[in-house]
Amino acid sequence: MDYKGTRRLSVAPMLDWTDRHYRYMARQITRHTWLYTEMINAGAVIHGDPVRFLLKDECENPVALQLGGSEPADLAKAAAKAAAYGYDEINLNCGCPSPRVQKGAFGACLMNEPLLVADCLNAMQDAAPDCSITVKHRIGVDRQTDYQVVADFVGTLHERTACTTYIVHARNAWLDGLSPKENREIPPLKYDYVYRLKQEFPHLEIIINGGITTNQQISEHLQHVDGVMVGREAYHNPMLMRDWDKLFYGSDTEGISHAELVTKLQTYAAAQISTGRGTILRHMARHYLGLMHGLKGARTWRRILSDAEMLKPNNPALLAEAWEHVSKANFENER
């Protein structure tokens, strides 16, 4: 089966992390994996600087914009703007548990209002008819522990919308008493709930998310669901993605070497700085700290690229300087 063009693998939307600079790097490592923006409030897209919130590099596709919001009219306006920027997918966040998001009455608390979510999805689809409109959600809110909670949520949306793709974080969202970080770690993972969703709704695209850190785990999940979304591990250890095209998309292209990637990132950084839009090396280098994970010299790489004084001159050649330390410390030739 040809999996290219599918959401078989994806990188989760992560606030303050999956910006356009991270996504450019990720796309150099994996050609076929779906990438997601960080969550962007619909109001910011409508009223803010569209270049700041929607700009992307053409190489990023397939890429999805994740929106936060609960007003169908606002989400429709934001979706229309996103479609004009060439996003392949627009995703509605129904899973974020942060207090800031709750005050805006969106994120995970929307799971308690499936009819409103249906109105939102329909408004987004009408405004961006050529985009795939999807939803990312939890398996329940607070102490809702029964499988039927998430089954009813998906069932209601399936009946009332054209949405066919459901990205399911296999944990509850505890809206009271846990921080966003604790919400990613304390509520127990219930992968079996997501597997059951696929069994109950076999014609829907069900993607699993939450606590997935290895290629072996990805392979095991793909026996039960259509796709796997990886979050923090893809950020802190981005070269994990290097074999994804070959392992999960059937590509025969060899994975990029560290040396080649550093060269590409240096060229990219120079181009971004030269635009004069205020982008500085630090904005990009912060995403590169985990690139040498597992290699000798990784600590030196991280130290150089997080040193405020060394970053201050805004010289992309700092990447080559940092790489030189890693290259010398590793005796095996890169493939």
- Residue of 94, 96, 131, 163 marked catalytic: 96
By three-state DSSP, how is residue 90 classified? Answer: strand
CATH topology of domain 258-332: Four Helix Bundle (Hemerythrin (Met), subunit A) (1.20.120)
Q: Is 140 annotated as a binding residue?
A: no
| pLDDT score of 102 more than 70 | no
**Is 96 among the catalytic positions?**
yes
Tens digit of each residue's pLDDT (9 = 90 or more) over 191-220: 999 999 999 999 999 999 999 999 999 999
Tens digit of each residue's pLDDT (9 = 90 or more) over 247-258: 999 999 999 999
Tell me, what's the pLDDT at 230?
98
Instruction: Give the predicted TM-score (pTM) of the model.
Output: 0.95
Q: Is 55 annotated as a binding residue?
A: no
Give the CA dihedral 283, 288, 290, 296, nearest 10 degrees.
Answer: -130
| pLDDT score of 147 more than 70 | yes
d(CA 211, CA 209): 7
Domain 9-249: assigned CATH number: 3.20.20.70
Tens digit of each residue's pLDDT (9 = 90 or more) over 41-54: 999 999 998 888 99
Q: Is 190 annotated as a binding residue?
A: no
| pLDDT score of 185 more than 50 | yes
- All structural domains of the chain with their residue ranges: 9-249, 258-332
Tens digit of each residue's pLDDT (9 = 90 or more) over 289-322: 999 999 999 999 999 999 999 999 999 999 999 9
